[in-house]
A and B are shown apart, each in its own frame.
Chain A
Amino acid sequence: MPENRKKDVTGTEERNLLTGKEGGSETEKNIIDIAWNFLSSMKLGIILLLVLAAASIIGTIWVPRDMYGQPDYLKFYNHPVFNIILALLALNILICSINRLKSVRSTLKGPSVAAAENIVKRSGETVKIKAEPAQAAEKVRGLLKGKGYRIFSSQDGDVIKIASDKGHLGILGPYLTHLSFFIMIVAIIIKFSGLVGFDGTFAGWEGETYSLGDVHGIQNVDYNDYFDIRVNSFRTEYRPDGREIKQWYSDVTVIDGDKQTDFTIYVNKPLVYNGIKFYQSSYGHQYVGKYSGSAGEDQEFILGQGGQEYLWDEGTNLAFVPTGFEDATKKVKLQIYKGQQIVDEVDAVLNQPVKYENVEVVFEGVRSYTVLSTKKDPGVPIIGAGSILLIVGVVISFILRQRKIWSIIRPDAKGAVVEIGGISAKDKRGLDSDIEEITSALKN
Chain B
Amino acid sequence: MDLVTLEQHSFTATFIAYGVASLIYVIYLGYKNESFVRLGTIATVIGFITNTAFLILRWRISGHAPFVNGYEFLLSFTWGIAAIYLFAEWRYRTKIIGAFVMPIAWFLLAWIAMKMPESARNAGNLMPALQSNWLTIHVATAMVSYGAFALSCGTSIMYLIKKVMENNNSRSSFNKRMPSLDVLDDMSYKSIAIGFPLLSAVIITGAIWAEFAWGRYWSWDPKETWSLITWLVYAAYLHARFTYGWRGNKAAWMSVLGFAFVLFTFFGVNYFLSGLHAYGGL
Contacts and interface: CB of A to CB of B under 8 A. Distances in A.
Given A266-B128, A373-B215, A394-B200, A60 B243 contact: no
Contacts of B228: 56
SS of A interface (majority)? helix
Q: Which of A244, A398, A428 has the most CB of B within 10 A?
A: A398
Contacts of A59: 220, 225
A268 B225 contact: no
B229 A391 contact: no
Nearest to A239: B125
Nearest to B190: A398
B200 A53 contact: no
B129 A9 contact: no
A267 B204 contact: no
Nearest to A279: B215
Contact of A270 (B212, B221, B247): B212
A248 B129 CA distance: 10
A7 B248 CA distance: 13
B125 A246 contact: yes
B244 A248 contact: no
A49 interface: yes
A7 B189 CA distance: 14
A60 B245 contact: no
B213 interface: yes
Contacts of A280: 128
B219 A73 contact: yes
A48 to B, nearest CB: 9
Contact of A269 (B204, B212, B236): B212
Nearest to A392: B197
* Interface size band for B: 35 or more
Contacts of A45: 239
Contacts, number: 122
Contacts of A383: 207, 217
A39 interface: no
Contacts of B208: 384, 387
Interface string A1-39: 001111111000000000000000000000000000000
Interface in A131-156: none
Contacts of A395: 197
Interface in B152-203: 182, 186, 193-194, 196-197, 200-201
A244 to B, nearest CB: 6
A384 B218 CA distance: 12
A71 B232 CA distance: 24
Contacts of A267: 128-129, 131, 213
A418 B196 CA distance: 40
B89 interface: no
A245 B127 CA distance: 7
Contact of A46 (B217, B229, B240): B240
A60 B222 contact: yes
B215 A56 contact: no
A49 B273 contact: no
B233 interface: yes
A61 interface: yes
A52 interface: yes
Nearest to B239: A46
Contacts of B267: none
A244 B225 CA distance: 30
Contacts of B30: none
Contacts of A60: 222, 225-226, 269, 273
B213 A73 contact: no
A246 B128 contact: yes
A60 B132 CA distance: 26
Given A59-B220, A270-B215, A395-B197, A53 B129 contact: no
Contact of B220 (A73, A266, A375, A391): A73
B220 A77 contact: yes
A6 B129 CA distance: 50
Given A268-B131, A268-B132, A429 B207 contact: no
Across the A-B interface, the 9 shortest Cβ-Cβ residue pairs: A7-B245, A4-B245, A267-B128, A73-B220, A279-B215, A53-B232, A49-B236, A42-B243, A60-B222
9 contacts: A7-B242, A52-B232, A56-B225, A61-B273, A74-B220, A267-B131, A277-B215, A375-B215, A428-B186
Interface of A: 3-9, 42-43, 45-46, 49-50, 52-53, 56-57, 59-61, 71, 73-74, 76-77, 239, 244-248, 266-270, 277, 279-281, 373, 375, 380, 383-384, 387, 390-391, 394-395, 398, 425-426, 428-429
Given A53-B229, A394-B197, 9 more contacts: A7-B244, A42-B243, A46-B236, A53-B236, A60-B269, A73-B225, A244-B125, A281-B215, A387-B207
